Amino acid sequence: MAVILFQSPKGGTGSTFLAAQLALHLAGRGYEVNALDCTFQNALKMHFGFMPSQPVPELDGVEGEALVAFGVKLLQAHHHFRSQAFLREAERQLDRLFDPAHIWIVDVASEDRPLLDLLTPRCALHICALLPTAASLATLNRLSETAPAMQLDRTVFVLNQLDDRQKLSRHSHSFVRDLFGDQLIATVRRDEAINEALARFEPIAKNAPTSAALQDLRFFASAVEERIGLTQAVGEANVTVPGDV
């Protein structure tokens, strides 16, 4: 159905967290979702309740292998995309890589610009997470070597960890909103419950069902659905995140 990339030019902005939340939302809506971790850290699985030591099947692994949580199939591809076999025929391999019957949520490392450039022409959307900090906003000119960030038609932005009590956070929000207009599809408020949920290896909906950030995340996921034309619900799946309301 669609390939949705998550990558920010600066690490630590919450791209992996947002990727997991979108995957959970779409699976709960009844879509077939694969979540592909292309990072060395292989931390995407932790947002689905798995321990760091849990092996995740490789994208090119044995047929029949599966690691599924809350209706989302988890895969990793950090080594695959760096293999000589892939690099020799990257274009041809990518043409047959993504099963069109599924939605693919792909988490790309901040430093992996070559992979981002390979995947962007094949994606429905590239989601770039930003923080309301000078260090994060200063990297916007590194998104593309060919066009300004506001002219990238497949790229949208999420301002993560917004704290309206902080002057810089408020001003950063205003700056990003004015700069990107409707390319800024969501903001997510800062909430310590997110880190607490990760430390407990629990979904945020279970660990903190009243979290203000949870409401923001639902709005974000709905905005992505609308942006890529998934506004027609396929029916709620029999897969729910424990504690979700």
Judge whether 241 lies within some domain: no
Judge whether 23 lies within some domain: yes
Structural domain of 71: 2-227
* CATH number of the domain that residue 105 is part of: 3.40.50.300
Q: What is the mean pLDDT of the chain?
A: 89
C-alpha 121: how far from its chain's center? 17
Judge whether 125 lies within some domain: yes
Number of domains in the chain: 1
Task: Give the range among 102-111, 122-131, 226-235 with minimum mean pLDDT.
Answer: 226-235
- The predicted pLDDT at position 240 comes to 41
Which amino acid is located at 161 in the chain?
Q
- The predicted pLDDT at position 31 comes to 95
Q: How confident is the model at residue 140 (pLDDT cuts 50, 70, 90)?
A: very high
CB-based burial of residue 178 (10 Å sphere; 0-12 exposed, 13-18 middle, 19+ buried)?
A: exposed
DSSP string of 66-81, one letter each residue:
--EETTEEEEE-TTGG
pLDDT digits (tens, 9 = 90+) for 10-61: 999 999 999 999 999 999 999 999 999 999 999 999 999 999 999 999 987 6
Question: CA separation (Å) from 124 to 50, 86, 198, 226?
Answer: 28, 22, 28, 12
- The predicted pLDDT at position 91 comes to 76
pLDDT at 125 over 50: yes
- Residue length of the chain: 245
- The predicted pLDDT at position 203 comes to 85
Strand 103-107: give its sheet, edge to edge.
68-69, 72-76, 33-37, 103-107, 2-6, 125-130, 155-162, 184-189
**Which whole number is the average pLDDT over 83-87?**
81
Name the β-bridge partners of 160: 188
pLDDT at 131 over 60: yes
Written in H, E and C, the secondary structure of 187-219 is: EEECCHHHHHHHHCCCCHHHHCCCCHHHHHHHH
- The predicted pLDDT at position 235 comes to 53
Judge whether 239 lies within some domain: no
